Amino acid sequence: MSTKKTTKTTAKTAATKTTATKTTTATTPPAKSAAKKTAAPAKKAAAAKKATAPAKKVAAAKKAPAAKKATAPAANKAPAAKKLPESHAALVRRARRINRELADVYSYAHPELDFENPFELLVATVLSAQTTDLRVNQTTPRLFAKYPTPEDLAAAVPEEVEELIRPTGFFRAKTKSIMGLAKALRDDFGGEVPGRIDDLVKLPGVGRKTAFVVLGNAFGVPGITVDTHFGRLVRRWKWTEETDPVKVETAVAALFPKSEWTMLSHRVIFHGRRICHSRKPACGACPIAPLCPSYGEGETDPEKAKKLLKYEMGGFPGQRLKPPPDYPGKPAPPLAAG
């Protein structure tokens, strides 16, 4: 009995092993099949990449010529021509044309200080520093009524002179200047205003600007008066870039014949006061706009620009209480009515 059981047990064990082997053998192919299934999509993806790579290259190759075509015209375009600087000859022509245009517009241009003789003009010009010609014209009638000659002014009481010229501002310094020049005229020039610039600039309070005002308007000696208006406008017109008055004077003098210097000064100053203002130039009402390289700095609308015009061009009184006979504007009111 024991032997039979052992044999049966052995047989069962062998059968079990055989079954396990068959089972293992039977399950192996599905594992391989799964691997194949997993590998298949990967191969397809790789194949797809290979397939799309050339397509991308082709697309890129197709786009490349298009980009070249787009940029080709730009490359073929000639570079923008640089604006050549204005030659001296061209500058002279433009500057003289501006002067002619201003002469047509301001045919009545004149010195805007009231005076009866060289002494009055000299004193009035010194007083005009840091104030308007109008304020000077409103102040000098009482001054000249009391001190009509250099001798009278030289002997005046300083405090009384200060009170008379107070409306012009800086009255203490100006009193010192006008009394000093009056004494110099009395002591060194026989009570007469000299007609030479070298003599004039030696007088207290008298610089080149004042000297040229007196020489040009009291003696008929040509000169360029570089005040704030004149300097501002000639720089706007690119006649010069200088800011020093003496250098401005030299640069502008080289553009015009001497005979034009005095009237040129009046025309430019008139234009600066009436149209080409410092802060809001009336570009839209400017007669020389086509010749001005700074056109557009101010108001360009014609109607708005007209509202910016001053003095006779805007219908307002001028700066002189006693203007020349050909002046088209209204005389300024005296100080009491101002």
Contacts of 169 (CB under 8 A, 6+ apart): 130, 131
Closest residue by Cα to residue 230 from 91, 109, 127? 109
Residue where the block lists tokens 């209480």: 321
Closest residue by Cα to residue 223 from 178, 263, 268? 263
Contacts of 183 (CB under 8 A, 6+ apart): 150, 154
Contacts of 55 (CB under 8 A, 6+ apart): none
Distance CA 36, CA 158 (A): 121
On whether the CB atoms of residues 129 and 206 are closer than 8 A, the answer is no
| Residue 150 structure tokens | 């250099």
Q: What is the residue type of 169?
A: G
Distance CA 319, CA 161 (A): 23
The Cα-based distances of 193 to 5, 210, 256 in angstroms read: 161, 13, 28
Distance CA 306, CA 267 (A): 19
Q: Which residues are catalytic?
A: 209, 227
Residue 203 DSSP code: S
CA dihedral 223, 225, 231, 232 (to 10 degrees): -120
Residue where the block lists tokens 């500057």: 95
The Cα-based distances of 91 to 61, 102, 237, 323 in angstroms read: 57, 16, 10, 34
3-state DSSP percent of the chain in helix, strand and coil, to 5: 65, 0, 35
